[in-house]
Structure 1
């Protein structure tokens, strides 16, 4: 098996599933900690921001050629995701306990996007080298010359929808409903 095939297999069968599993476990932790009652929509909002920051480069990578510009966008999104994760943790830690298991889940959620981007960069090394000015790169965004099969796109987006997007939306909805109910209850007391 070639190095490229091994890297693709690692990305598809190890890194991405582990990343999705860690995300799903994080939402289970939030549910167990009843974040709607403490950190609420502020924390849940940061989860939506982080989801968008990792989701956009993934979707772009499914439909566009992996160019230096796309890698730069993904790297910028990774840096912003890291900053958002820090802000999320500050919000959460100020309002609730973050148990050790959840902290380890967060460690995976911090590391796995960087591992995934690293694998993609190695697979597209001339474009990645262009980010450091070591080679000429393609600084355009353009559709893939050979589109990925719909089954591959579905294999990436389907599990993300079930394990990340739906739980994030349900968490936000739960937090928002609790905040509104608390507000109504407070209004009735005055």
Structure 2
């Protein structure tokens, strides 16, 4: 691969794919809010969303900080597969919880599902030697199955900007969603307990009379 192509692919990953993940992630949170997730599928679906963010976020963090090698590629492949399986679980949970998943939200999901594949494919094109090493089981490379810090760390300003973007567009919105769902769940449980007590008191009153 020529230096120009390698530099262009690296810039595409750093300044295109990774920041681009924030937009559909935030848009999906807006869709959940508009369809009142706290009153339908509730905390269960919100926890699944947190799982999906972790499945994407962990390999991203490792890639930003570590050299690409068979171990890192294995983590990325495993996380991508887990993310797809969790995405299926997510939609099933939403439908069973009677939350409306609109066509617009489904279209947003398509971006969230394809971005990990796009990033992984680009990374594998950048590091074909490590892909070959992975296929050989890392034979002959003593660092193949260890996390190795980057020889040339990414700029600290870039890392800080990505961390701020993750906090602002992913962590905070989805933490708010989880908290909102948990509060709504507590309110419903309290309401059910009050109804149960009223029913019990009514039954006792009729029995005593």
**Interval containing the TM-score (normalised by the shorter chain):** over 0.9
Matches within 5 A, 1:12-23: 12-23=14-25
* Aligned counterparts of 2:60 and 2:168: Cα–Cα separation in 1: 16
Change (3 A) 1:133 1:63: same
1:19-69 C-alpha deviation (Å, 9 max, x unpaired): 210101000000001100001011101000001111111111122111111
Unmatched runs of 5 consecutive residues or more in structure 1: none
1:126–1:135 CA contact under 8 A, matched in 2: no
Q: Distance in 2 between matches of 1:117 and 1:158?
A: 23
TM-score (norm 2): 0.86
The answer on 1:168 being equivalent to 2:171 is no
**Deviations 1:64-97, CA, capped at 9 Å, x for gaps:** 1111111111110110011111101110112222
Aligned-CA RMSD value: 1.6
Separation in 2, partners of 1:129, 1:27: 39
- What's the counterpart of residue 76 of structure 1? 78
Gaps of 5+ in 2: 197-209
Contact preservation (8 Å) 2:70, 2:130? yes
Q: Which 4+ residue blocks in structure 1 deviate beyond 3 angstroms?
A: 134-137
Q: Residues 119-134 of structure 1: matches in 2 within 5 Å?
A: 119-133=122-136
Deviation string 1:94-119 (CA, Å, 9 cap, x unpaired) is 22221000000001100001101111
* C-alpha deviation, 1:134, in angstroms: 8.9
Q: Is the 8 A contact 1:46 1:84 kept in 2?
A: yes
Among candidates 153, 161, 171, match of residue 155 of structure 1 = 161
Matches within 5 A, 1:1-190: 2-95=4-97, 96-133=99-136, 138-190=144-196
Shift of 1:160: 1.3
Aligned partners of 2:116, 2:51: CA distance in 1, in Å?
15
Other structure's SS at 1:2 match: helix
Against the structure 1 CA distance between its residues 124 and 155, is the aligned structure 2 distance closer, same or farther, given a 3 Å change threshold?
farther
